[in-house]
Amino acid sequence: MSIKKTQAYKVFMKPMVEANPVSVAILGICSALAITTQLIPSIVMVLAMTFVLTMSNVTISLLRHVIPKNIRIIVELVVISTLVILADQTLKAFMFDVSKQLSVFVGLIITNCIIMGRAEAFALANGPWLSMWDGLGNGLGYGYILIVVSFFRELLGAGSLFGIKVIPQALYDAGYVDMGIMLLAPGVFIVIGLLVWAQNIYTKRTQ
């Protein structure tokens, strides 16, 4: 009960639905769209993204009194890209296949507007403890959208989850066909559109 009252909890929960970075603030959609054809790469992407977001929020928050105002964007970019290099090298070393699949999109975490946005809007004005929770919350808020989208795309587009077939052969024999469009570009736009529609209806009802 008491944990729900702490400020850290509030900062952490806010980006989950109410101020979700992807579906409400419309930030960082590029990568949310590109790598969601399968579940495994999207989960890896979420982990990389959450790591970079949390660490950059903490670092920038620690440096917030030292960074000169007019060159802060460059400083932020350097902090972020250093963290992205760490994430990228780790992926290349330990999960080479997934890192090949994600290709340039790991690098593009640098320009993911969520990170810049949180650094500018939160980390520059708050202490490292709260910034860490804000980073985690935003990373996971971004992550759950990615995972839901890739769940539907992999299920409907390839009939599998985590690379394992889940749609029984009997259904294919009865004439069921995978929706190829789910794996292509237009599918993902439409899935996200419908998802946001559902979320809008849900948040209206709970208010």
Stretch that binds other proteins, among 11-19, 81-89, 140-148, 164-172 (CB under 8 A): 81-89
Work out which of 11, 15, 27, 61 binds other proteins, going by CB under 8 A. 27
Give the H or E element holding residue 161.
strand 160-161
Binders of other proteins among residues 89 to 148 (CB under 8 A) are 89, 103-104, 107-108, 110-113, 116
Residue with smaller CB distance to other proteins, 16 or 74: 74
> Considering the rule CB under 8 A, would residue 172 count as an interface residue with other proteins?
no
Burial class of residue 138, CB neighbours in 10 A (0-12, 13-18, 19+): buried
The whole-angstrom separation of Cα 112 and Cα 109 is 5
> Considering the rule CB under 8 A, would residue 82 count as an interface residue with other proteins?
yes
How many CB atoms sit inside 10 A of residue 120's CB? 15
How many CB atoms sit inside 10 A of residue 130's CB? 19
Give the H or E element holding residue 105.
none
Residue with smaller CB distance to other proteins, 124 or 130: 124
Q: Look up tokens 């890192």; give the residue.
A: 99
The whole-angstrom separation of Cα 24 and Cα 207 is 15
Work out which of 62, 85, 121, 166 binds other proteins, going by CB under 8 A. 85
Positions in the binding site for other proteins (CB under 8 A)? 23, 26-31, 33-34, 73-74, 77-78, 81-82, 84-85, 88-89, 103-104, 107-108, 110-113, 116, 181, 184-190, 192-194, 196-198, 200-201, 204
